[in-house]
Structure 1
Amino acid sequence: MYLPLRRLLALALLCLLLTACVSSGNGIASGTATPTTTKTLPTPAATFTPAPFPTDTSLNDTCPPSLASLVNCQTPQSMRTAYGLTPLIEKGFTGKGQTVVDIVSFGSPTLQKDIDAFDTQFGLPPITIQQISPLNEPAPTGPNNWADETTLDVETIHALAPGANIVVLISSVDQTGRGTAGLPKFRQLLQYTIDHKLGNIVSQSWGASDIALKDAAGQAEIQKWDTLYKQATTRDGLTIFAASGDNGATAHDATGQSVSRTVTTNFPADDPWVTGVGGTTLKRHGTTFAEVAWNPSGGGFSSLFPAPAYQKALPASVQTLSQNRRGVPDVSGNADQTTGLALYENGSWKTDAGTSASAPMWAALGAIADQMAGHPLGFLNTALYQIAGSARYTQDFHDITIGNNSVLAGGVKVKGYNAVPGWDAVTGLGSPNAVNLLPDVITALNNQG
């Protein structure tokens, strides 16, 4: 879980953002991308026919008065506009008929009341959230930071895919970044999702540092995960998203209590069968947006997994950095608390973020894509990277070219990576322009057979 460190970094981030230089214009401002290959995907000719669903445009684009001081506070409508979802939702592509499974620890006792208030504020359709504890073990009593995480995940998914069902699967063990502490229980929850066919989209806003998984127990555990992820995405049709982490180019050390002073990535975002999601800062300029890398966005090159085939076509500059290691993240989205979505939790409004926000954001896109396709799409990464190597890249992604994920805080100094044209180890391929990206993903996967 990445929540505690986000709070420690918030003040430093505010200072950084005051000095950030961001270009603006129509749509999201970014640099000019250089396609990694000359291969061109055909423009989809099919017109997708939406399933019957009430058009929901949620035109309330005003944050609650208590958040008025946050000039970049996002609403469901602003997030949809920024990431190209509004035209799809207006056609009825809302994720209807799909279920997103959110795997967390402990859950939230106020979740249903919170989502009801959130829906009322922004004119969203009501939803009943299922919270299931299939392991039949009581959660520890006392303060529950995972309630924040659960609320963030669920309200983000519902804001962007208002027709999708959401199931929260609860573990009784916390995963704080140290070794295999919570991994076996989370793995049981993923297996439960498969066995009971709960849903085709899985969102995971937790992680364990690669550093903490290099012993025999860690290696054995991640091998079990890797086997399960491959089965889930290629045989069972699941699409799995994981947050890349909120410690920039590093992560927790083996104790889980301190940040490492060396570059590292997080599992499961670096597993090749998972779509790892990094973070950006999404600034509003009236009806236009500008986006830069979020400095704490987890990213780098895995010490656990070699580069998958879909990343070996990336430019020579990336291959030099990679040294045949799996690069993280694959994609990105808004993760900055100062530009976060307005959230309601336990009686008050706030913003919260981190890559724990961008992962469920992409899970919402996954639900809409499955609805558009009319079937589960399963593993997305091959299609995402195929698009990145085609002439469609600049139309399907917002290529983030400003910022880095170097760490200089709390006595920790780690040189990270720069956001550059094309894929980078801060924001991956970039953030989505869903109105173009999702049809192209479907086309690419259909062409792959």
Structure 2
Amino acid sequence: MPPFVPPFDVPEGDPFGVHNLPYGVFSRAGSDGGPADGSDGRTVGVRLGDHVLDAGAAARALGSPYAALLARPSLNPLLAAGSTAWSDVRRALTAWMTVPAHQETVAPFLYPLSSVTLHLPFEVADYVDFYASENHARNVGRIFRPDAPDPLTPNWKHLPIGYHGRSGTVVVSGTDVVRPSGQRKAPTDPAPVFGPSVRLDIEAEVGFVVGAPSPMGESVALGDFRDHVFGLCLLNDWSARDLQAWEYVPLGPFLGKSFATSVSAWITPLDALEDAAVAPPERTHALLPYLDDGATGIDPGGYDLRISVAINGHVVSEPPFSTMYWTAAQQLTHMTVNGASLRTGDLYGSGTVSGPERSERGSLLELTWNGTEPLELPDGKRTFLEDGDVVTLSAWAPGPGGVRVGLGEVTGRIVSG
């Protein structure tokens, strides 16, 4: 048998070391729901290497005042507590993981990841999806409007385009995705038909999780982004391109998007990503004042996240999040500028992340140029997803001292409807 390695002895350079400490919700073997008492049922966990800490049980054992936020079956109480509490809890967790006296107390509450079940980490309130990658938007414009003088729509450089999605079908990584059915009509078909989607796609995205709410009738300023957004995760916004193409005029995505959105089981706090902060690409159009992030003292809002997309274990794309034209701060501000309120647990997606190179495109629509240039995979060609295909998104970001900050992966398997 391999030698026992104490849970705190995470290998040097591990992307889930003490510099990261992402949050999730887990239950131990033989438990599915039930009371969050630190031993049975769902409870808040914090990842360290290949272990997860029962944060609530550790907090109680140490007499911490944060037990009321952490001994819960969801992250929502912690999310609602606000940015001061988020920073305080993170400092406490770091101490519990690194100070020998605390380690002795919390060690019994660290469990191997292989022995637990991970759940959707927060109760999703509203879900919004944006369209913030210029590379993606230009590719889509060239595919569907090849004769247009500009592949971008006239509003694209002036505001973050988005739509409200369905929060009830946001699912945790590892959940099977049932191939959706609906109406579809090819341009040459005389009438629409009903049946399973034959152009099922992925969208490699980053999701941002709202903690502190805002009242209806008030907007959130760019500089207040960190007061409201707790952290981020990887997100796959599955898309049935054929259903969407028939239904989306004039009101936008509906059944082609609402059947499933997969998110990571781990939420990385923004405080873990200080070394990944970057400026967004240069703006080519003047922005209205509420979106102008060039002002002194405004967080630049970009993040250097390196995403990898794999189908059946074969990497097909590596989209760079640093190329996103619109930042998460601008998206939050635009989302609330009309007075729409924020709720704890709101989730908003960045939109498909695509870089300038073919190997950096975040959807099969782009990678195969709408099915005209199939991908060569070890198990055969692909234009869009087939039943049994497993899609996995993973990512990392630069961390302190050159170490990587790992983001929890998102995986989903396509099953027949």
Q: Check whether TM > 0.5.
A: no
TM-score (norm 1): 0.26
Structure ranking higher on relative contact order (CA contacts 8 Å, 6+ apart): 1
TM-score (norm 2): 0.27
Greater percentage in strand: 2
